[in-house]
C-alpha cells in the first residue's frame, strides 16, 4: 500500500548546499549529516534542539560511526580519515582513486563492520568512471567487482547482511547483489527501477523488515521498497532534492531526510524555503541501529 498521505516536515533549517550522509547514532540519540559542498559535518540533538558543526579540510561526502563513540570514519572528497569529535584530531588513512577525476560519494558499513563506499565522476559530462570500494578491518582498501558508476549511491545492506544494494543514479535503477560474510560478491541484479518520470535514486537506508527507503533526487519524495523491490510506501518532501535517509529516534521509527539547495534556480529557492534542511516523518516501520566501523 502506498502511503500517499505521508508528508515530511522541516526539523532543522540548515540551508545546506548539498546535505547528505543521514546517520542516526542510537548510542547518543543524535542525528549526524554532512553538507558536502559546505565541507561541514553536523550533529543534531532532537531532545534539546542543540546543533553542533565542525569545519572539514575538504568536502565531506560520507562517514561512518565507529566502535569508539568519540570517533568517526570520514569519507572526504579524496581520502579516508579518522576524526576525533572531542579533540578534532584528523588521522589520514588512505587516498582513494587519486588517478581519476572523481570524488567520494555515498557509503555505509556492512553488517560485519567494514566500510563500503562509492565514488562519482566530477567532470562536466558525466561518465561511468567511478567505483565501489571497501575499507576492511585492517584498514586495507579494495575495489569491489561491481559496475563502475557515474554517481554511486543507495548503498545499504539487508538485515542479515547477505544482500548489498547500490546504484548509479543516472541509470534510475537500484541494483542488488549477493554479499558474503567474507566480503564475496555475486549475482548482480536489478532490484527496482524508478517508474516516475522525475527523480533519480540517491541515498538509502534499510529497515528491520528488510525494506529499502530511498531518497529520490529531483522527485520531492522518499520511497520504500519491500525486499521484493515493489513499492510499499512513499513520503512527500516539500523540496525538490531529498538526498539521503535514516531511521532514528527512540524507537528507530522517525524518518530523517537530508536535502539540498544545489541545482535549484532562484525561483525554486524562493518557493522551497526549507531546501537544504533536515526533514522528518513518522514511520510505521522500525529501523536498525547503524552498523559501526570495527577497524582500527
Residues with catalytic function? 202
Partner residues linked to 248 by β-bridges: 254
Does 214 carry a binding-site annotation? no
**What phi and psi values does residue 271 have, to the nearest 5 degrees?**
-80, -30
95 labelled as ligand-binding? Answer: no
Phi and psi (nearest 5°) for 225? Answer: -115, 135
Provide the grid cell at 122: 566530477
105 is annotated as contributing to ligand binding:
yes
Distance between CA 63 and CA 53 in Å, rounded?
Answer: 14
Separation CA 220–CA 295 (nearest Å): 36
Q: Tell me which residue of 143, 147, 189, 186 sits closest to 170, measured CA to CA.
A: 147
Rounded CA-CA distance 44/25 in Å is 10
What whole-number distance in Å separates Cα of residue 164 and Cα of residue 293? 16
Residues tagged in the binding site annotation: 20, 103, 105, 153, 202
Q: Which residues are annotated as a binding site for substrate?
A: 103, 105
Enumerate the known binding-site residues for a divalent metal cation. Answer: 20, 153, 202
Amino acid at each position: 500500500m502506498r502511503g500517499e498521505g505521508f508528508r515530511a516536515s522541516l526539523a532543522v533549517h540548515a540551508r545546506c548546499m548539498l546535505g547528505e550522509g543521514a546517520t542516526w547514532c542510537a548510542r547518543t540519540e543524535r542525528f549526524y549529516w554532512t553538507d558536502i559542498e559546505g565541507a561541514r559535518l553536523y550533529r543534531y540533538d532532537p531532545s534539546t534542539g542543540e546543533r553542533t558543526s565542525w569545519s572539514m579540510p575538504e568536502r565531506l561526502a560520507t562517514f561512518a560511526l565507529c566502535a569508539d563513540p568519540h570517533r568517526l570514519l570520514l569519507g572526504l572528497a579524496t581520502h579516508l580519515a579518522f576524526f576525533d569529535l572531542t579533540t578534532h584530531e584528523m588521522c589520514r588513512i588512505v587516498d582513494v582513486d587519486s588517478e581519476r577525476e572523481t570524488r567520494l560519494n555515498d557509503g555505509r558499513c556492512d553488517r560485519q563492520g567494514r566500510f563500503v563506499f562509492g565514488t562519482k565522476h566530477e567532470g562536466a559530462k558525466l561518465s561511468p568512471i567511478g567505483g565501489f570500494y571497501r575499507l576492511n578491518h585492517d584498514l586495507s582498501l579494495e575495489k569491489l567487482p561491481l559496475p563502475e558508476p557515474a554517481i554511486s549511491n543507495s548503498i545499504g545492506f539487508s538485515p542479515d547482511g547477505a544482500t548489498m544494494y547500490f546504484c548509479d543514479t543516472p541509470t534510475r535503477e537500484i541494483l542488488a547483489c549477493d554479499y558474503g560474510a567474507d566480503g564475496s560478491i555475486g549475482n548482480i541484479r536489478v532490484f527496482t527501477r524508478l517508474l516516475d518520470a522525475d527523480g533519480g535514486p540517491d541515498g538509502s537506508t534499510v529497515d528491520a523488515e528488510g525494506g529499502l527507503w530511498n531518497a529520490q533526487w529531483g522527485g520531492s519524495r522518499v520511497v520504500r521498497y519491500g525486499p521484493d523491490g515493489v513499492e510499499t510506501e512513499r513520503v512527500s518532501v516539500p523540496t525538490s532534492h531529498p538526498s539521503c535517509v535514516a531511521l532514528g529516534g527512540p524507537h528507530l521509527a522517525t524518518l530523517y531526510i537530508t536535502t539540498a539547495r544545489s541545482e535549484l534556480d532562484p525561483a525554486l529557492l524562493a518557493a522551497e524555503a526549507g531546501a537544504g534542511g533536515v526533514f522528518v516523518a513518522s514511520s510505521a516501520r522500525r529501523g536498525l541501529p547503524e552498523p559501526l566501523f570495527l577497524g582500527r
